[in-house]
Structure 1
Amino acid sequence: KRKTKNASKVKSVNRLEFSLDGLNVSGVLEDHFSHKEFRPGQKRAIQLILDGKSCFLILPTGGGKSLCYQIPALILKGLALIVTPLISLMQDQLERLPSCLSGAIWNSYQTAKEISQIKRQLRNGELDLLFISPERLFSPSFRFVLRNLPLPGVSFVCIDEAHCVSEWSHNFRPAYLEMTNVIRNELGISTILALTATATRQTCKSVCDALSLDESDIVRIDARRENLFLSVSRDTANRGKSLISLLESPRFCDLQSMIIYVFLKAQTEQVACALRSAQMDAAAYHGGMNAYQRKKIQNSFMSGKLRIVV
């Protein structure tokens, strides 16, 4: 199928038609996603959404969470609304959509022309998925668009990085706490798919309470990551020098891509500058940058042109 993109914000294809009667979900997986079998937890979560039930899916990173909203979005009639906390995640998810799915991003950095195009596609029922931030749900004009979608409207809402409902909602992302009221009461959407790779038992309860989910809706796959190594350094005298020595060590010098996390925006610039002074290919990435700067750095890192992001 031929697909088109517009400034990486829109991806269009010819929509497919499915009947839920006797549907073989495993056949859809192989025919349209080129996978022979589901990973643990995927099929159960997908079947719950296809049955019109909600699900809180906890899969390890790399466990295939995206597939659990992509297959229902392909099969179900209507629009799948994907709520994601970061624009960079939306862009990555859109660009990774398989060719059988049509998707778009709606965010505050887009031009009036881009928004107009997305509205037209929504009115015409041309999109399978729409990626938005939680704050977008509180825009009266956006809710008006959703209420006037062609039937059957929104098929389900997927809340990606659902642990944010617990960890962020009480400080700088209060929209997460109010999402349930908008989704269930104002928009009348009953099916919610919550996704995360990070959730303690306490976080699970907090998310379920916030999204009005039952604990029976939880599908949890715990996995010990054999490729994950943790180590701690107590060297506080000169952490910058220690970091450079660490990155120059045999264990790290051959790695093609690295992400370094710090606590403050100013530290991202300081660390990146120190690494560049040591002849390392590094760039800072933080919320104080504009959308163009962040997208440029993200693309450079994802394509292998940039080795280190701080």
Structure 2
Amino acid sequence: MDEHALRELAEERLRALAGPEAALRDDQWHAIRALVLERRRALVVQRTGWGKSAVYFVATALLRELGEGPTVIVSPLLALMRNQVEAAAAAEVHAATINSANPEEWSRIEEQVAAGEVDVLLVSPERLNNPDFRDSVLPELTQHAGLLVVDEAHCISDWGHDFRPDYRRLRTLLAELPEGVPVLATTATANDRVVQDVADQLGVGAEGTLVLRGSLDRESLRLGVLRLPTAQARLAWLAGHLADLPGSGIIYTLTVAATEEVAAYLRDRGYEVAAYSGRTDPAERRRAEEDLLANRVKALVATSALGMGFDKPDLGFVVHLGAPSSPIAYYQQIGRAGRGVRRADVLLLPGPEDRDIWSYFASLAFPPEPTVRAILDVLAREGRMSTAALEPHVELGRTRLEMVLKVLDVDGAVRRVKGGWEATGQPWHYDAERYERIAAERRNEQQAMVDYLETSGCRMEFLRRRLDDPHAEPCGRCDNCTGRHHSADVDEQAVQEAEERLRRPGVELSARRMWPSGMAALGIEVSGKLPAAEQAEPGRAVGRLTDIGWGNRLRELFAAGSPDQEPPEDLFQATVQVLAAWDWAQRPVGVVALGSRTRPRLVRGLASRLASIGRLPLLGEIATNPDTAPRRATNSAQRVAALWRQFRVTDDLATRLSALDGPVLLVDDYSDTGWTLAIATRQLRRAGAPAVLPFTLAVTG
């Protein structure tokens, strides 16, 4: 097929995909030509909505016409896969996906791929290292692939805002591709450093590779920043102006707790909105996406979980309650808006608590070398282990442990196998210099976000320069370019209503029901379900440390270096409100304080005042064993081991408990993992307490 005929066929396929008026951009054709005619590798860095998916779907259609094998697309999110499968069908391309949500379809899809009935197979990066898929399906697929596509390729780079260790396994996949199989990597959010790193990781930096990098301007977006003094003022402003924003959109928050708080408040004000986060049930997430796509809701109140995977061309606005920690992440999130409309409003409402939240997430970076070496030592000593079995042996929580194992896998030090992980015995180098450079870059990004808030120049130009866009120039549309800033006027009645909502205390504490795996390895013979006779009832806390309402006040109380003190009056009154609203099956008949090494005045004072105001006996305090010392514990198994012998019920307290005919109120300052309350409850129940109702001022999650 000559180049002219190929171009005509490409235009025809694009019209089937995007509509009768669609025409290939020059760089779209350059990429398609390089992939189909020259079988080259290409890296495409173009703005959201530019049409990167059109490149690989049209290229796939042409390659299939020429008799080549299926395209393999490595894609990071289920929602993104769903959109791509639907888009492919419009171009008469049969796409299928193998991911964690459809295991019952894997065998059928694999058979269709083998029979040549699938044009595009979408897989997650995590699937590339699933032992069955890696060892049985991937080798055959690699040998017969017609095109490999790496979507959202910035995830490969740990300099990027959304590093995914599994993506780095693509180096192995690329090395095993037969000669002449074209490769396409695409992203909208990559500065020079990330582009170079992606090129190195994928091997697309070699001579002859086509790099297509265009302007990152988004002509439909109107960017603005509005500073308001308090969380309640920001909520009140939003409630007063949400109806004025065009169409439907996304309200981003920094924490899961904030999504639920803001959504509940806006629903109270008459808006159709829904909360959306990584904690939302998958079926509810899908339903929320569909409601927004169909304009059945005004907005989704979401964390960054609603990001790359969501495509709504007519999204009319994006509002951020709180600033992301990186201008690059911010650019990626606002890129959801205005893809198919002439105008979309983008507004950032920063808060003073933003830096605290950035610091928390920064603390989850790659751990120090001794911690990582401990993982390798345990695997070398014990052999094959599941993540759950490994967790009790190391000072890492489950999420960070899994991340470290993936990095070690990519580096060749461990290997994922059926049933878990095993050490390879290969030497491994802890690249401390690189990890520190990455941490320094994260701090630099945070400062750049502060600079974005304060700049008097063009906001779109600022973001484009952070992404090293060589075409960056003033947009003429943002608040600084036009001089048209959002009014900071807020109705005082609305502020008062928002404050009442935010100051409404009360969070349910879920009781622990299952022991962590692997406790026997730590010398504690418990497993499976906690016996019903040793469990706590659901408890209550005044608020979460991540709340936008009580969070600021509670963070102040529990900040490092803050003095131990009697319960502050505002928090005590909030406590009384929580207890008054508590729908317990039976009212407590006594109060017990949980011994505290760090805040004994706070806990004892709170227990004493609650007993007094509730006219309940103060039964005593669970004692702290003097021969135990608190130690750092970062996962459930280690936490239980640290607490196992820390508390004891005195004989006097046990005598009082055994005489009760109702539950006791167990009072502590705050709950993190829930294991302190679970272990203390176990002690109380075994000493004779009929039931335990845990209560704390704060909960971390």
- Asked whether the two chains share a fold, i.e. TM above 0.5, the reply is yes
The match for 2:51 among 46, 58, 64 is 64
**Counterpart residue number, 1:27:** 8
C-alpha contact (below 8 Å) 1:146/1:153 kept by paired residues: no
Helix, strand or coil for the counterpart of 2:224? Answer: coil
Q: Where does structure 1 lack aligned partners over 5 or more consecutive residues? A: 1-19
- Aligned-pair CA distance for 1:297: 1.1
Asked if residue 280 in structure 1 is aligned to residue 261 in structure 2, the reply is no
Inter-partner Cα distance in structure 2 for 1:124 and 1:64: 30
**Counterpart residue number, 1:17:** none
- Structure 1's 165 and 244: CA in aligned 2 closer, same or farther, altered over 3 A? farther
The match for 1:39 among 5, 25, 41 is 25
- Structure 1's 27 and 247: CA in aligned 2 closer, same or farther, altered over 3 A? farther
- The one-letter amino acid of 2:44's match is L
**Counterpart residue number, 1:48:** 34
- The one-letter amino acid of 1:44's match is H
The match for 1:117 among 89, 104, 108 is 108
Using CA pairs under 8 Å that are at least 6 residues apart, name the structure with larger relative contact order, 1 or 2: 1
TM normalised by structure 1 equals 0.83
CA deviations 1:2-24 (Å, max 9, x no partner) are: xxxxxxxxxxxxxxxxxx45562
CA deviations 1:245-276 (Å, max 9, x no partner) are: 245338x6252211122222222222212221
C-alpha contact (below 8 Å) 1:29/1:37 kept by paired residues: no
**Counterpart residue number, 1:209:** 200
Inter-partner Cα distance in structure 1 for 2:262 and 2:132: 42
Helix, strand or coil for the counterpart of 1:96? Answer: helix
**Counterpart residue number, 2:237:** 245
- Aligned-pair CA distance for 1:167: 4.5
C-alpha contact (below 8 Å) 2:75/2:125 kept by paired residues: yes
**Counterpart residue number, 2:132:** 141
C-alpha contact (below 8 Å) 1:247/1:253 kept by paired residues: no
Helix, strand or coil for the counterpart of 1:62? Answer: coil
CA deviations 1:64-92 (Å, max 9, x no partner) are: 11111001111112111111111111111
**Counterpart residue number, 1:185:** 175
TM normalised by structure 2 equals 0.39
- Structure 1's 95 and 33: CA in aligned 2 closer, same or farther, altered over 3 A? same
Q: Which moved more, 1:151-160 or 1:71-80?
A: 151-160
Report percent identity of matched pairs: 33
C-alpha contact (below 8 Å) 1:82/1:158 kept by paired residues: yes
- Aligned-pair CA distance for 1:36: 5.0
C-alpha contact (below 8 Å) 1:26/1:37 kept by paired residues: no
- Structure 1's 301 and 248: CA in aligned 2 closer, same or farther, altered over 3 A? same
- Structure 1's 282 and 244: CA in aligned 2 closer, same or farther, altered over 3 A? farther
The match for 1:194 among 185, 200, 205 is 185
Inter-partner Cα distance in structure 1 for 2:110 and 2:225: 50
**Counterpart residue number, 1:12:** none
- Structure 1's 128 and 210: CA in aligned 2 closer, same or farther, altered over 3 A? same
Inter-partner Cα distance in structure 1 for 2:13 and 2:240: 44
Helix, strand or coil for the counterpart of 1:272? Answer: helix
> Where do 1:63-102 residues align within 5 Å?
63-76=50-63, 77-97=68-88, 98-102=90-94
CA deviations 1:62-119 (Å, max 9, x no partner) are: 111111100111111211111111111111111122241100111112142x122211
- Aligned-pair CA distance for 1:188: 4.5
C-alpha contact (below 8 Å) 1:54/1:193 kept by paired residues: yes
- The one-letter amino acid of 1:176's match is Y
C-alpha contact (below 8 Å) 2:73/2:120 kept by paired residues: yes
Asked if residue 226 in structure 1 is aligned to residue 219 in structure 2, the reply is yes
- Structure 1's 227 and 22: CA in aligned 2 closer, same or farther, altered over 3 A? closer
- Aligned-pair CA distance for 1:42: 0.4
Helix, strand or coil for the counterpart of 2:190? Answer: coil
- Aligned-pair CA distance for 1:289: 2.4
Q: Where does structure 2 lack aligned partners over 5 or more consecutive residues? A: 16-20, 302-701
Helix, strand or coil for the counterpart of 1:279? Answer: coil
Q: Which moved more, 1:22-31 or 1:280-289?
A: 22-31
C-alpha contact (below 8 Å) 1:78/1:152 kept by paired residues: no
Asked if residue 293 in structure 1 is aligned to residue 279 in structure 2, the reply is no
> Where do 1:142-157 residues align within 5 Å?
142-143=133-134, 144-149=136-141, 153-157=144-148
The match for 2:258 among 260, 264, 267 is 267
**Counterpart residue number, 2:120:** 129
The match for 2:100 among 102, 108, 121 is 108
- Structure 1's 78 and 57: CA in aligned 2 closer, same or farther, altered over 3 A? same
- Aligned-pair CA distance for 1:123: 1.4
C-alpha contact (below 8 Å) 2:57/2:91 kept by paired residues: no
Inter-partner Cα distance in structure 2 for 1:111 and 1:177: 24
- The one-letter amino acid of 1:62's match is G
Inter-partner Cα distance in structure 1 for 2:97 and 2:224: 38
Q: Which moved more, 1:45-54 or 1:25-34?
A: 25-34
